[in-house]
């Protein structure tokens, strides 16, 4: 049993009042003559036992009456077990039903997918109403958290969290549901309160479940059941321009089975917002979820071009538009020495034809350092390695060639075209500044690094060293090496966020850009299957809205018995009155 | 000045405000006798004289049933009063008699004085020799029974001159009275009977054994019948100074039952010994009390 107003229990001291009053009252009774005292004594003798019992009964009744009233004032709460309505609705919080102090975390999934409209109502509105109902039933003794799509567990008062839940909007962020629920469960499990609950209010996208498992003991996990009807949805998962703006690759994601939908790409001249009216359409095609299409882009003048890809509107509008950026750099003037081998020479020839590079000294590729930007390959003669390293050191480059390294495959976040390509021979690249400037690795060791205007490659671009010259991505690799990496220009990066473009500048030059957009996995609205839910949340109870309303705080539900006590006090008062007024 | 109204039927306290004991007693007796038109006291002190024809209104108890049986005619018996009845009135003058539960009422002693004076006047008017003995823990006054002129005044003076005493010792007074009454006579004990019942009954039984007619008038204040008072009170016995703390409200029922049982006990015991017993409340009109004796 707990009390809502435990300080009121101090009033139990008042239970001693009847006994005190009884003692005080006995002090000085008035005196009077009464001749038939013998009758009085006889009557008293005959009634002594009854009167003693009556006095004792009255004392007990009055003491109990005071104690019961004080207890009622302290608002005692007793467990009532599971079941019964929870008062749902989230109107006014307690409606007679109360519960033991509970640590409660509400996970409200306001990721992009919650913005889908189902049956004419955004899913997020339904989730918010349920979150409000859960929070509104909290009492002052509860400890509360609200976890939104950003995964941050916000602790706060009921009112503060209600305001946060009410103000939640669908965000482009993706909620990693299992880790978020796991964190929430561990938070509430750490609270020394009688009950712990986590309410998971999500559309339970399959893609959000991942492979993890939430298994925190002593925490009641209530999961809102996924919707029965899932709308077909399509979203622009990606829109990326090739190196130099040679083409625009568009990926479409969405609910499996959704048909193809028309999409339009528009491009805006540098310096203008693509959403403005001066954008021009550069392509139109049809694509279904899971498909990827490439639209050719018209020849573009050097500069940073912004564009966007639009899909026809569907139930989830947040993923129907994606921005992209095209970097068209002036062709690099490249000079390759004789030691680079035939493959690099051939690639440069192709690039010259395509006007991606020109002949000149802007970027030198070879076994030696050039005057300006240099791409340094390991010398064919190992005896020259020391000379190259001394030159690098003299230039102030913090990297140098080391001992030969084991073979492996190339990994790179920046250079997609070389990923997975086999490397047979290589020198380890050793630096003094950790991994700063590493562009690609082999077996986890740096293989392509950049420091200042110097790029070091761990292998010669020869098929005896690596399979790269024979790979389809070799020419684009050389293009990127000459036009972007050697000149220090960053790749156009992508990030999850509100659709926008952030440019990276160095001095007056723009050297990179980050394109923000929604997480493409949010476009697939397919919920997890019961098996998948059970695997992710073993021990959880998956409930519909009514079930959730009934089971909230059910493990800790308690009843305020103050009304019962007041009724009992009334009964005691009636008995006291009857006994006190009893003449015989 | 005696009120022209029937004083015997008025509230005793109201009657007492009209004058001294003599005046009140005379007024009460006049009214009382006017109401019944003849002496109410009959018995061995009166003798049969003659028969007369029954007339409507005559009391049936005086009907001669033997003549009715033999001759089928209605005759009533007529009696002639004797003058040789010797009546002694014993008045309890103990401290307990000087108590009243309400200032608006007479004390038990005040009521008893007036009742005794009226009774004595009636007896003397019948030419019965009437005497008085007052007692508390001892005999205080003894006025032998006489029928001569001025006897009533002496009796009243005896009442007035007897102060409120202390304890009560009725049995001693009764035994002393037995010695004073050489011939059979009438003994009237006026008391609140707050005394040892067994001892008193022993003495009364002795008087009855000597052939005396004995009447006990149990005088009680109404407040002695029903217990009332503040929530808690210490009651003190005026005679013994003993006291007890009680809560009248919670003891009222048991007390009333005890009093009723006590009265019933006196009534039963008196009847068993041939003693007439009458319970008289001090708010009872004197005429009603006298009628009890008729």
Asked whether the predicted pLDDT for residue A413 surpasses 90, the reply is no
Interface contacts (A, B; CB < 8 Å): 92
Going from the C-alpha of B165 to that of each of A263, B93, B96, B109, B117, the distances in angstroms are 130, 6, 9, 11, 19
- A492 pLDDT tier (thresholds 50, 70, 90): confident
Cβ of residue B246 closer than 8 Å to a chain A Cβ? yes
- Testing the interface with B: which of A21, A24, A25, A36 to mutate, by most B Cβ within 10 A? A36
**CA neighbor of B124 nearest in space, from B181, B180, B86, B80:** B86
**CA neighbor of A356 nearest in space, from A375, A336, A330:** A330
Nearest to A47 among B238, B245, B254 (CB): B254
Distance from CA of A22 to the nearest CA of B (A): 11
Asked whether the predicted pLDDT for residue A403 surpasses 90, the reply is yes
Nearest to A31 among B236, B251, B253 (CB): B236
Contacts of B258 in chain A (CB under 8 A): 39-40, 42-43, 46
Nearest to A39 among B99, B236, B255 (CB): B255
CATH class held by domain B7-37+83-293: alpha beta
Distance from CA of A54 to the nearest CA of B (A): 10
Number of other CB atoms surrounding residue B13 within 10 Å: 17
What's the half-sphere exposure (Cβ side, CA atoms, 13 Å) at B75?
Answer: 15
Contact: A35, B194; criterion CB under 8 Å: yes
Torsion of CA B164, B170, B173, B177, to 10 degrees: 120
Nearest to B99 among A29, A33, A584 (CB): A33
Nearest CA in chain A to B250: A583
Nearest to A36 among B194, B232, B240 (CB): B194
- A241 pLDDT tier (thresholds 50, 70, 90): confident
String of b and e for A405-419 (b: at least 16 CB within 10 Å)?
beebbbbbebbebbe
Measured distance CA(B290)–CA(B285) in Å, rounded = 9
Cβ of residue B264 closer than 8 Å to a chain A Cβ? no
Q: Which residues pair with A305 in a beta bridge?
A: A326
Q: Return all residues near A466 (Cβ < 8 A) that are at least 6 apart.
A: A410, A421, A422, A423, A424, A425, A426, A459, A460
Nearest CA in chain B to A583: B250
Cβ of residue B192 closer than 8 Å to a chain A Cβ? yes
Q: Please name the residue ranges forming H helices in A324-400.
A: 342-353, 385-395
- A556 pLDDT tier (thresholds 50, 70, 90): low
Q: Return all residues near B198 (Cβ < 8 A) that are at least 6 apart.
A: none
Residue ranges of chain B assigned to CATH 3.40.50.410: 7-37+83-293
Q: Return all residues near B222 (Cβ < 8 A) that are at least 6 apart.
A: B101, B102, B105, B281, B282, B283
Q: What is the DSSP letter of A482?
A: I
Sheet containing strand A97-99, strands side by side: A2-3, A76-79, A557-560, A97-99
Asked whether the predicted pLDDT for residue A249 surpasses 80, the reply is yes
- B139 pLDDT tier (thresholds 50, 70, 90): confident
Contacts of B222 in chain A (CB under 8 A): none
Question: What value does the mean pLDDT of chain B take?
Answer: 83
Strands (E), B114-194: 129-135, 139-146, 186-191
Kindly report the backbone phi and psi dihedral angles of residue B186, in degrees, each rounded to the nearest multiple of 5, phi listed first.
-105, 130
Sheet containing strand A143-147, strands side by side: A153-155, A143-147, A102-108, A195-201, A220-224, A541-543
More confident of the two residues A215 and B16: A215
Cβ of residue B199 closer than 8 Å to a chain A Cβ? no
Contact: A39, B242; criterion CB under 8 Å: no
- pLDDT (average), residues A555-570: 82
What is the structure's pLDDT at B44?
Answer: 38
Asked whether the predicted pLDDT for residue B4 surpasses 80, the reply is no
* Chain A interface with B: residues with Cβ < 8 Å: 25-26, 29-44, 46-47, 51, 54, 582-584
Nearest to B233 among A30, A36, A46 (CB): A30
Contact: A39, B245; criterion CB under 8 Å: no
* Domain A101-230+531-552 shares a fold with domain A234-329+492-523: no
> Any idea where the domains of chain A sit in the sequence?
1-29+47-86+559-584, 101-230+531-552, 234-329+492-523, 332-485
- B257 pLDDT tier (thresholds 50, 70, 90): very high
Measured distance CA(B1)–CA(B11) in Å, rounded = 17
CATH class held by domain A101-230+531-552: alpha beta
Kindly report the backbone phi and psi dihedral angles of residue B11, in degrees, each rounded to the nearest multiple of 5, phi listed first.
-65, 130
Provide the 3-class DSSP secondary structure of residue A217: coil
Measured distance CA(B190)–CA(B134) in Å, rounded = 10
- Testing the interface with A: which of B98, B240, B246 to mutate, by most A Cβ within 10 A? B246
A22-62 residue pLDDT tens: 777 666 788 889 999 989 888 888 888 888 888 888 889 98
Asked whether the predicted pLDDT for residue B82 surpasses 50, the reply is no
Contact: B253, A30; criterion CB under 8 Å: no
- A461 pLDDT tier (thresholds 50, 70, 90): very high
Contact: A36, B259; criterion CB under 8 Å: yes
Contacts of B191 in chain A (CB under 8 A): none
Nearest to B96 among A26, A35, A54 (CB): A35
Asked whether the predicted pLDDT for residue A84 surpasses 90, the reply is no
The C-alpha angle B12, B13, B14, rounded to 5 degrees, equals 90
- pLDDT (average), residues A353-357: 87
What is the structure's pLDDT at A559?
Answer: 73
Contacts of B244 in chain A (CB under 8 A): 37, 40-41, 44
pLDDT cut 70: percent of chain A above it: 92
Q: What is the DSSP letter of B257?
A: H
Contact: A26, B232; criterion CB under 8 Å: yes
Measured distance CA(A180)–CA(A161) in Å, rounded = 17
Q: Return all residues near A280 (Cβ < 8 A) that are at least 6 apart.
A: A266, A267, A268
Cβ of residue B255 closer than 8 Å to a chain A Cβ? yes
Number of other CB atoms surrounding residue B76 within 10 Å: 17
Nearest to B238 among A35, A38, A584 (CB): A35
Strands (E), A474-583: 492-496, 500-506, 509-517, 541-543, 557-560
- B211 pLDDT tier (thresholds 50, 70, 90): confident
What is the structure's pLDDT at A26?
Answer: 60
Cβ of residue B232 closer than 8 Å to a chain A Cβ? yes
More confident of the two residues A562 and B21: A562
Contacts of A40 in chain B (CB under 8 A): 227, 235, 244, 246, 251, 255, 258
Measured distance CA(A447)–CA(A494) in Å, rounded = 24
Asked whether the predicted pLDDT for residue A237 surpasses 70, the reply is yes
Nearest to B255 among A30, A31, A40 (CB): A40
- Testing the interface with B: which of A24, A35, A54, A581 to mutate, by most B Cβ within 10 A? A35
| Contact (Cβ atoms closer than 8 angstroms) between residue B79 and residue B47 | yes
Measured distance CA(B49)–CA(B81) in Å, rounded = 10
| Contact (Cβ atoms closer than 8 angstroms) between residue B190 and residue B113 | no
- Testing the interface with A: which of B251, B256, B262, B265 to mutate, by most A Cβ within 10 A? B251
Contacts of B257 in chain A (CB under 8 A): 43
Nearest to A41 among B244, B252, B259 (CB): B244
CATH architecture of A234-329+492-523: Sandwich (2.60)
What is the structure's pLDDT at B35?
Answer: 58
- A81 pLDDT tier (thresholds 50, 70, 90): low
Q: What is the DSSP letter of A527?
A: B
What is the structure's pLDDT at A271?
Answer: 62
Relative orientation angle of helices A37-73 and A562-581, to the nearest 10 degrees: 170
Name, of A399-408, A529-538, B26-35, B134-143, the range with top average pLDDT: A399-408
What is the structure's pLDDT at B282?
Answer: 94
The CATH classification number of A332-485 equals 3.40.50
What is the structure's pLDDT at B80?
Answer: 52
Question: What value does the mean pLDDT of chain A take?
Answer: 85
Q: What is the pTM of this model?
A: 0.51
Contact: A35, B254; criterion CB under 8 Å: no
């Amino acid at each position: 049993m707990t009390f809502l107003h435990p300080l009121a229990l101090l009033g139990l001291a008042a239970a001693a009042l009847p006994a005190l009053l009884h003692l005080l009252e006995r002090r000085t009774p008035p005196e009077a003559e009464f001749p038939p005292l013998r009758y009085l004594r006889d009557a008293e003798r005959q009634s002594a036992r009854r009167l003693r019992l009556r006095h004792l009964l009255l004392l007990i009744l009055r003491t109990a009456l005071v104690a019961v009233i004080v207890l009622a004032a302290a608002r005692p709460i007793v467990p009532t077990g599971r079941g019964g309505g929870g008062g749902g609705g989230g109107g006014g919080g307690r409606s007679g039903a109360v519960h033991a102090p509970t640590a409660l975390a509400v996970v409200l999934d306001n990721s992009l997918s919650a913005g889908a409209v189902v049956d004419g109502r955004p899913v997020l509105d339904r989730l918010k109403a349920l979150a409000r109902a859960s929070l509104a039933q909290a009492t002052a003794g509860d400890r509360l958290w609200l976890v939104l799509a950003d995964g941050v567990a916000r602790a706060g008062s009921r009112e503060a969290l209600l305001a946060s839940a009410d103000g939640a909007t669908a965000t482009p962020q993706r909620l990693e549901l299992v880790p978020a629920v796991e964190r929430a469960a561990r938070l509430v499990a750490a609270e020394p309160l009688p009950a712990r609950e986590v309410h998971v209010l999500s559309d339970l996208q399959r893609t959000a479940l991942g492979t993890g498992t939430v298994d925190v003991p002593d925490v009641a996990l209530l999961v809102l059941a996924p919707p029965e009807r899932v709308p077909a949805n399509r979203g622009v998962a990606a829109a990326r321009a090739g190196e130099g703006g040679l083409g625009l690759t568009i990926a479409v994601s969405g609910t499996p089975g959704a048909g193809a939908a028309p999409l339009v790409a528009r491009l805006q001249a540098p310096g203008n917002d693509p959403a403005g009216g001066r954008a021009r359409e550069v392509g139109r095609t049809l694509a279904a979820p899971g498909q990827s299409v490439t639209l050719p882009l018209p020849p573009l003048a050097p500069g940073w071009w912004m564009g966007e890809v639009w899909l026809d509107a569907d139930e989830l509008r947040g993923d129907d538009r994606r921005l992209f950026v095209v970097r068209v750099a002036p062709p690099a003037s490249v000079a390759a020495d004789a030691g680079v081998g035939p493959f690099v020479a051939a690639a440069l020839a192709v690039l010259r034809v395509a006007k991606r590079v020109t002949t000149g000294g802007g970027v030198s590729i070879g076994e030696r350092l050039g005057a300006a930007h240099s791409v340094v390959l390991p010398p064919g003669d190992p005896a020259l390695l020391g000379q190259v390293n001394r030159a690098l050191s003299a230039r102030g480059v913090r990297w140098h060639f080391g001992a030969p390294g084991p073979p492996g495959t190339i990994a790179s976040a920046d250079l997609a075209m070389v990923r997975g390509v086999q490397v047979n021979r290589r020198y380890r690249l050793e630096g003094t500044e950790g991994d700063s400037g590493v562009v690609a690795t082999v077996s986890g060791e740096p293989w392509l690094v950049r420091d200042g205007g110097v790029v070091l490659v761990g292998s010669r671009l020869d098929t005896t060293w690596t399979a790269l010259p024979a790979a389809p991505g070799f020419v684009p690799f050389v293009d990127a090496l000459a036009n972007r990496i050697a000149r220090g220009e960053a790749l156009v990066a992508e990030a999850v966020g509100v659709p926008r473009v952030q440019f990276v500048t160095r001095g007056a030059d723009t050297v990179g850009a980050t394109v923000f957009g929604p997480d493409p996995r949010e476009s697939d609205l397919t919920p997890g299957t019961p098996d998948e839910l059970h695997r992710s949340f073993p021990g959880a109870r998956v409930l519909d809205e009514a079930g959730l309303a009934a089971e909230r705080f059910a493990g800790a539900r308690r009843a305020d018995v103050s009304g019962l006590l007041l009724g009992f006090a009334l009964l005691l008062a009636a008995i006291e009155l009857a006994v006190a007024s009893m003449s015989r | 000045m005696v009120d022209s109204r029937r004083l015997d039927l008025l509230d005793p306290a109201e009657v007492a405000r009209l004058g001294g004991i003599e005046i009140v007693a005379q007024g009460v007796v006049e009214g009382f006798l006017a109401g019944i038109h003849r002496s109410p006291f009959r018995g061995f002190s009166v003798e049969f004289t003659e028969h007369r024809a029954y007339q409507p209104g005559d009391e049936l108890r005086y009907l001669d049933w033997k003549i009715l049986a033999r001759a089928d005619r209605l005759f009533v018996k007529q009696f002639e009063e004797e003058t040789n009845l010797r009546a002694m009135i014993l008045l309890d003058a103990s401290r307990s008699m000087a108590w009243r539960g309400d200032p608006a009422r007479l004390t038990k002693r005040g009521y008893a004085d007036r009742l005794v004076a009226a009774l004595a006047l009636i007896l003397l008017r019948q030419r019965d020799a009437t005497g008085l003995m007052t007692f508390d823990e001892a005999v205080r006054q003894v006025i032998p029974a006489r029928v001569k002129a001025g006897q009533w005044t002496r009796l009243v003076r005896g009442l007035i001159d007897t102060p409120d005493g202390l304890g009560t010792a009725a049995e001693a007074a009764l035994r002393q009275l037995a010695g004073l009454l050489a011939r059979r006579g009438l003994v009237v004990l006026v008391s609140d009977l707050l005394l040892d019942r067994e001892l008193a009954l022993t003495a009364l039984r002795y008087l009855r054994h000597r052939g005396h007619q004995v009447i006990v008038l149990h005088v009680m204040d109404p407040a002695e019948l029903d217990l009332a008072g503040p929530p808690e009170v210490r009651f003190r016995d005026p005679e013994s100074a003993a006291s007890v703390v009680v809560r009248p409200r919670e003891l009222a029922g048991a007390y009333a039952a005890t009093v009723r049982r006590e009265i019933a006990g006196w009534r039963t015991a008196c009847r068993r010994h041939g003693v007439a017993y009458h319970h008289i409340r001090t708010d009872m009109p004197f005429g009603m009390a006298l009628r009890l004796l008729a």
